[in-house]
Amino acid sequence: MTTHTDAATAETAPAETAPAEAGLQPWHDHRLTRSERAAALVAAMTLEEKAGQLVGLWVGADASGGDVAPHQSDMSRDAPSFADVIVDGLGQLTRPFGTRPVQPDLGAQSLARAQRQITAANRFGIPAQVHEECLAGLAAWGATAYPVPLSWGASFDPELVREMSERIGRSMRSVGVHQGLAPVLDVVRDYRWGRVEESIGEDPYLVGTIGASYVKGLEDTGIVATLKHFAGYSGSRAGRNHAPVSAGPREMAEIFLPPFETALRHGGARSVMNSYAEVDGVPAAGDRRLLTDLLRDTLGFEGVVVADYFAIAFLRTLQRVAETDGDAAARALWAGIDVELPSVAVYGAPLIDAVRSGGLDEALVDRALQRVLEQKIELGLVEADYDPTPAHEAPFDDADARDIALRLAREAVVLVDNDGTLPLAADVRVAVVGPLADDPMAMLGCYSFPAHVGVHHPESGLGIDIPTVLAELGARRDVVRHAAGCDVTAPGQGGFAAAQDAARDADVVVVALGDRAGLFGRGTSGEGCDAADLRLPGEQQALLEALLDTGTPVVLVLLTGRPYALGAVAARCAAIVQTFFPGQQGAQALAEVLTGEVNPSGHLPVGIPRDPGGQPSTYLAPPLGRANGASNIDPTPLYPFGHGLSYEALTWHPTVTEEEDWESDGITAVAVVLANETARRVDDVVQVYLHDPFAQVTRPEQRLVAYRRVSLEAGETVEVLFRLHGDLTSFIGIDGDRIVEPGAVELRVARSSADVHAAVRRRIVGAERRVGADRALVADVDVRSVEMDGAEGGPA
């Protein structure tokens, strides 16, 4: 057995503290610092009590199948009882609302009773920290189901995402939850990966800025946000969940790490969850360079690192870098994981035995414990008068929450293509077909409670009202026929004839196709639901082609968790509308866009590929990663990152100047004037891309460095001014350092990565400059109203 020690852990030894008031334990003494109070507890605890604070407990986790975590059935069979675990204290309670359907008020009462049992059982009276999933809303029965993160990315609206997460945080606090396991900051690298729906997009700047806003909203309510999955998880080979990752240091530093840096600095996240990935043969759960040297020493993180579910045990069972559970515990603690989730396993008896046998330095236990206790003190969980009764009550699903969900769903609907068929005329006769046309589950991602847990409890119902596309469109237009046509996944074309008949009887056919969210092979999208290629699942493409053959104009509506290849059918469709699991109000948002009540304004956070097997790629490719004469394979997307159409467009007046110098440690400005010369409100997204024509290492053709969503009423004109620091041009140079390199660059003001309105030339001047974790990460953007010069047609 390898002995894991750490000289640096001497810093975590209990500090001398001021004497406490008579009868007051030092950990309850508010005259002391949080660190001093925690250190006093560390010094007073037995090894068993210390270990108790480093584990979670998942009461009621199903060991009979229907897993909601990888290998849950295997790992839950020998789980200890609640009464046995809490004797020495308990670090975390796992998902009391997200394990089975429970009424919110009854669940809150049950949780309060459990907390009273926990505090009574341990001699320090410390309750558990309670965590829940909250990626698309609190994962609880009856809670609002918001759009999934890929829809957040499509909105390009950090402010609205923050409003959503604040509402989620208030719901969590109202029932006694302290920590949320979100957001996912994995940057999409392969569309076949099942967890694309949980990701925000394929660009690290977009992921980081939207993710930081989600974190800020959650943290502002007092809920601990958890960044996941640190780091590289989405780079798995062939898009297979948990598969090895072959990313080099440059790809890690430029693609996978920046969103975490942004969310830590601009969001203030207090927890990080490790990735399941092994990068270059080193599992993240056992990687000290990642979890300690980088995360803490370089990025300055001071919070708590929690294990993704069963990840520490996987060091032995799946990745085989530990021979025993004790070795796994020692490796993970040494690497920097403070808390084992979801339930006690290797941080229980195996950890204790490893310390007593000399295989693990107890100072490493104390280091993790200090962090855990400091966070519990910050959350008010180490108080002599602690009362687990929730202080207030916030509804899980009310009109305000549904309004936020609806506004976000509207902003995330992407009009991909349109020959003028949309918006649907008031007198048009519509057929609504497809397997998702009348299915409420078509709106939900795999971490929404009805899809995540509720499918195993059909007797409880959905818990929330989820209208369908058929219902919402039928309330607005004359729907003359409906037919499913086929199933999402099951083989068989027996329903094609009825679908074709429905199409022939209508002026326009709206066909709703896409994914069914699920877990570990029980869906076409979601955790463990990876795709072999990017064809629409099952018989859906064949159904679409059959409908196209009728000659009736076809409006393709996609409700998916990933983009699918449309090269074979796009030119034949009258219109294409893309949504990514838009949440419980998604059908209303879709119907409003289809009928023109809402002007579409979403932009693609991922490209839509042309070919299903065309070597999945993203827009962040260097020259030889793009179409070129060296290969017969063309990876150019059918519709690019950032693309999105509208029924009415703004008029753009970019400010283009001669090439200007840009100090390498200074700021340059780029402006565009937008005028709404239409008769209705128009929303759009101004995007700024950096093009570096020559550098010491190969660079992407372009990458996003700024954006701003704008909303203009009829007749309104604004100037959008971007201020970009030289740090935003930095990259990992030939020697492995992050640098700002002098030379010519181009700032492209655009509506998408392929729709450039102006190319602004700058020359970075000054010496080559090394930059680090304190570099500027986000551009500053100002929007102000301006007057137009009627004679010139430009800004006055």
The string of pLDDT tens digits covering residues 118-154 is 999 999 999 999 999 999 999 999 999 999 999 999 9
Helix 362-378 crosses helix 325-335 at what angle (to 10 degrees)?
A: 60
Bridge partners, residue 226, by sequence: 271
**Degrees to nearest 5, angle at CA 425 with 420 and 431:** 95
pLDDT tens-digit readout, 153-187: 999 999 999 999 999 999 999 999 999 999 999 99
Q: Which two tokens stand for residue 767?
A: 């010496």
| Cα end-to-end span (Å), the chain | 75
Q: Which two tokens stand for residue 602?
A: 């979403």
Distance of CA 287 to the CA centre of its chain: 23
**Residue 289: pLDDT band by 50, 70, 90 thresholds?**
very high
Question: Quick one: pLDDT at residue 637?
Answer: 94
Question: Quick one: pLDDT at residue 512?
Answer: 98
**Total-model pTM:** 0.94
pLDDT tens-digit readout, 250-273: 999 999 999 999 999 999 999 999
Distances in Å between the alpha carbon of 553 and those of 418, 471, 544?
11, 21, 11
DSSP letter string, 606-668: SPBPSSTTS----S---GGGSS-TT-S-----SB-TT--B-SS-PEEEE---S-EEEETTSEE
Pairing state of beta strands 794-795 and 478-483?
A: unpaired
Distances in Å between the alpha carbon of 200 and those of 208, 211, 471?
9, 8, 29
Lowest mean pLDDT among 66-70, 207-211, 241-245, 557-561: 66-70
Checking if the pLDDT of 67 tops 50, the result is no
Checking if the pLDDT of 69 tops 70, the result is no
pLDDT tens-digit readout, 457-478: 999 899 999 999 999 999 999 9
Checking if the pLDDT of 778 tops 90, the result is yes
Question: Quick one: pLDDT at residue 471?
Answer: 98
Bridge partners, residue 66, by sequence: none
Question: Quick one: pLDDT at residue 76?
Answer: 55
Supply the DSSP symbol for 388. Answer: -
Q: Tell which residue, 622, 517, 604, has the closest CA to residue 566.
A: 604
Checking if the pLDDT of 726 tops 80, the result is yes
Checking if the pLDDT of 16 tops 60, the result is no
pLDDT tens-digit readout, 579-628: 999 999 999 999 999 999 999 999 999 999 999 986 667 999 999 889 88
Contact 397, 142 (CB under 8 A): yes
User: What share of the chain has pLDDT > 70, as a percent?
Assistant: 93
User: What is the distance between the alpha carbons of residues 80 and 380, in angstroms, rounded to a whole number?
Assistant: 28
**Residue 6: pLDDT band by 50, 70, 90 thresholds?**
low
Mean pLDDT for the stretch of residues 531-548? 97
State whether residue 587 is helix, strand or coil: helix
User: What is the distance between the alpha carbons of residues 365 and 336, in angstroms, rounded to a whole number?
Assistant: 10
Beta strands in 276-343 (DSSP E): 278-279, 282-283, 304-306
375 Cβ contact list (under 8 Å, min separation 6): 129, 224, 270, 271, 303, 304
**Which amino acid makes up residue 597?**
E
**Residue 60: pLDDT band by 50, 70, 90 thresholds?**
low
**Degrees to nearest 5, angle at CA 69 with 212 and 204:** 25
Of 680 and 787, more confident: 680
Mean pLDDT for the stretch of residues 296-308? 97
Helix (H) or strand (E) holding 436: none
Contact 556, 485 (CB under 8 A): no
Q: Tell which residue, 15, 440, 62, 380, has the closest CA to residue 223.
A: 380
Pairing state of beta strands 224-230 and 271-274?
A: parallel
Checking if the pLDDT of 629 tops 70, the result is yes
Checking if the pLDDT of 21 tops 70, the result is no
User: What is the distance between the alpha carbons of residues 173 and 743, in angstroms, rounded to a whole number?
Assistant: 51
